[in-house]
Amino acid sequence: EKSGGKIAYVYMPDTAGQGFEHFNRMFFAQIDKQALIVDDRKNGGGQAANYVTELLARPYLGSWKDRDGLVFDTPGGAIYGPKAMLIDQDAGSGGDFMPYAFKRVGLGPLIGKRTWGGLIGISANPPLIDGGFLTVPFFRFYTPDGEWRIENEGVSPDIEVELDPAAVNRGEDTQLDAAIANVLKRLESWKPVQRKTAPAPATLGR
């Protein structure tokens, strides 16, 4: 409502089954919107959300128009306008990596507070004879320049915004409001997808 129907909103509670289910259900139902805010706050992690990053990075290449006048954008299933991601101190693991990837690919600004920085993965958990098990730190993330990053440092926002507790008690979300304002401002200079075409040619070729 605050964006006048221009901005889609997608919340991901994790980067595992439930999170991808949330994403698919919320994202594809809103691909008619011009812009997008992804909410990574309190994201409990799971896997690397490469599926999400690749989908959000789809560039508009053109459209098809059929004999009935219906238009189909390509690639489909995309939102081509400005994007932003909300992050906070309670997002970690896959919830650390997703904003890192979002920023690395250049999808838009990160808004909120630094993520908690827990990207070492656990694996090889041998069962014990009494039914217990061990969690073993097994793999760690490094950047394209060979630096071990994110663990114990998190991913910092481009625009730092506190979640005001007093505002929350009033039913307000100061971080979301900041993201909406940022995306609406960028929409002012964004060139929408071209829907108008020249008359259909009567001959083949140019």
Q: Tell me, what CATH number does 37's domain have? A: 3.90.226.10
Percentage, residues of the chain above pLDDT 90: 78
Phi, psi of 72, deg, nearest 5: -125, 120
Mean pLDDT of 17-32: 96
196 in a domain, yes or no?
A: no
Mean pLDDT calculated for residue range 72-92: 96
Question: What's the full length of the chain, in residues?
Answer: 206
Q: How crowded is the C-beta side of 145, counted as CA atoms within 13 Å?
A: 3
Domain assignment present for residue 205? The answer is no
Q: Give a yes or no: residue 146 inside a domain.
A: yes
Cβ–Cβ < 8 Å for 98, 20: no
Distance of CA 173 to the CA centre of its chain: 18
Q: How far apart are CA 85 and CA 149, in angstroms?
A: 20
pLDDT digits (tens, 9 = 90+) for 142-187: 999 999 999 999 999 999 999 989 999 999 999 999 999 999 999 9
Rounded-to-integer distance, Cα 43 and Cα 90, Å: 7
136 in a structural domain: yes
Report the mean per-residue pLDDT for the chain. 93
In the numeric block, which tokens belong to residue 53? Answer: 């990053």
Quickly state the pLDDT bin for 204 (edges 50, 70, 90): confident
Residue of 193, 195, 196, 179 lying closest to 7 (CA atoms): 179
Q: Please state whether the peptide bond connecting residue 75 to the residue before it is cis, i.e. omega within 30 degrees of 0.
A: yes
Q: In the 8-state DSSP scheme, what is residue 201?
A: P
Is 195 inside a domain boundary?
Answer: no
Cβ distance 73 to 193 under 8 Å?
yes
Cα Rg, the chain, nearest whole Å: 21
- Confidence bin at 79 (pLDDT 50/70/90): very high
Please report the pLDDT score of residue 24 as a whole number. 98
In a domain, 193, yes or no: no
Helix (H) or strand (E) holding 178: helix 174-187
**Domains: count for the chain:** 1
pLDDT at 124: 66
Which residues lie closer than 8 Å to 60 by C-beta, 6 or more apart?
73, 78, 80, 193
Domain that holds residue 122: 7-187
Please report whether residue 203 resides in a domain.
Answer: no
Assess if residue 200 is contained within a domain: no
Residue 196: the pLDDT is 75
